[in-house]
Amino acid sequence: MKAPLKPLFLLADSSLLFWRIGDKPFLDCLRALTGADLSVPPIQAAYLGASNGDVPAFFEIFTAAMELAGISRCRMIPSQPTTEDLAWLAESQVILLAGGDPLLGWETFQRNGVAPVLRERYLEGAVLMGISAGAMHLGQRAWSEADPGAAETFPVLGLAPFIVGAHEQPEWTGLKRAVRDAGPGVRGIGIPAGGGALLHPDQSLEPVRHPLVELRHEEGTLCETLLYPPREPYRGEVRLLSSTLLH
C-alpha cells in the first residue's frame, strides 16, 4: 500500500527555506510530514540542480536548510546521475527541484530518466519541493526564463492542477501569456519573491508568507484574484488523502 500523499511545496526562491514562524523554522514542518524524529534509518533528502547546471553552492544552501529540519542525510543528484544516485532518489523522502532555467531542467529530467521517478516518489508519499523553475516543473506547463521572448510553453510534471509562475511581480508577463495560450478553464498561480504556496493533498492551496496571484482564463479574458495567507501559518498538521486520487 502506498503512503498517503504529502503537500507540494511551491517556493519562489530559497528565502522560505530559512524563514521562521515565531521561534520555529518553517521547515520544521518536515519533521511531522516525514516522521523524521522517529525514522530508522534516518530520513534522506535529494537535491536536483539540473535547472542551474548543478552549481555546488546551491546544494550547500539546501543542506543548510535541511539541517534546520533535522535532516542530515542529503545527496545532490547530478544531471548525469549514476546508478547509485538514482537509487538514492528512489528512496528519498524529501526531494527539492532547484531554480534556474525551466527548459534546461526539464530537458535534463526527460533525458536522464528522473521525470518518471519524481512522479512515482510523489505518489509514494515523498515530500516534493520546487524553487522557482522547480516550482514551475511541479505544475502543468512551463516556459524558458532564459529566453523571455520565447512564446512556446511545454508540459511538465503536472502534479499541481495549474500553471506556476514565480517572482514575476507585478506584471506576471510570462504567467499571463502561458495561461492565455493554454485556453479557457486554465488556472495560473503567481508566487511573488519571498513567498510560497502549499498544495495540500485535498487540492486546497495555502499561500505562505505573501499573497499569491490567481489567474483564471474565462470566456477569453484573464480574471485576476489575490489569495492571502491564513492567520495561522502551516505548522506541519498533516492533511492526507489516499494517493489513488491522482491515478
Residue 210 and residue 170: Cα distance in Å, rounded? 13
Q: Does position 237 have pLDDT exceeding 60, yes or no?
A: no
The grid coordinates of residue 162 equal 495549474
Report pLDDT digits (tens) over 129-164: 999 999 999 999 999 976 655 568 999 999 999 999
Residue 25 and residue 226: Cα distance in Å, rounded? 26
- Would you list the domain boundaries of the chain? 8-246
Contact 164, 126 (CB under 8 A): no
Residue 247 and residue 244: Cα distance in Å, rounded? 5
Give mean pLDDT, residues 29-42: 82
Predicted confidence at residue 31, as pLDDT, reads: 87
Distance, first Cα to last Cα, the chain: 14
Across 28-37, 69-78, 163-172, least confident range: 28-37
Strands of the 163-166 sheet, one edge to the other:
163-166, 187-191, 212-218, 221-227
Contact 89, 117 (CB under 8 A): yes
The architecture in CATH of the region 8-246 reads 3-Layer(aba) Sandwich (3.40)
Nearest to 178 by CA among 187, 168, 191, 167: 187
User: Sorting pLDDT into bands at 50, 70 and 90, what band is 3?
Assistant: confident
Predicted confidence at residue 37, as pLDDT, reads: 73
DSSP bridge partners of 164:
189
Nearest to 214 by CA among 197, 184, 231, 190: 190
Choose between 156 and 237: higher pLDDT: 156
Q: Does position 245 have pLDDT exceeding 50, yes or no?
A: no
Report pLDDT digits (tens) over 193-226: 999 999 999 999 999 999 999 999 988 789 999 9
Predicted confidence at residue 147, as pLDDT, reads: 65
The grid coordinates of residue 184 equal 479557457
Predicted confidence at residue 238, as pLDDT, reads: 46
Model's pTM, two decimal places?
0.92
Q: Does position 27 have pLDDT exceeding 90, yes or no?
A: yes
Residue 58 and residue 62: Cα distance in Å, rounded? 6
The grid coordinates of residue 237 equal 498538521
Contact 104, 147 (CB under 8 A): no
Predicted confidence at residue 174, as pLDDT, reads: 94
**Four-CA torsion 226, 228, 234, 238, nearest 10 degrees:** -50
Predicted confidence at residue 242, as pLDDT, reads: 33
Predicted confidence at residue 41, as pLDDT, reads: 79
Give mean pLDDT, residues 74-82: 98
Q: Does position 240 have pLDDT exceeding 50, yes or no?
A: no
User: Exposure of 93 by Cβ count < 10 A (0-12 exposed, 13-18 middle, 19+ buried)?
Assistant: buried
Across 11-20, 207-216, 232-241, least confident range: 232-241
Q: Does position 86 have pLDDT exceeding 50, yes or no?
A: yes
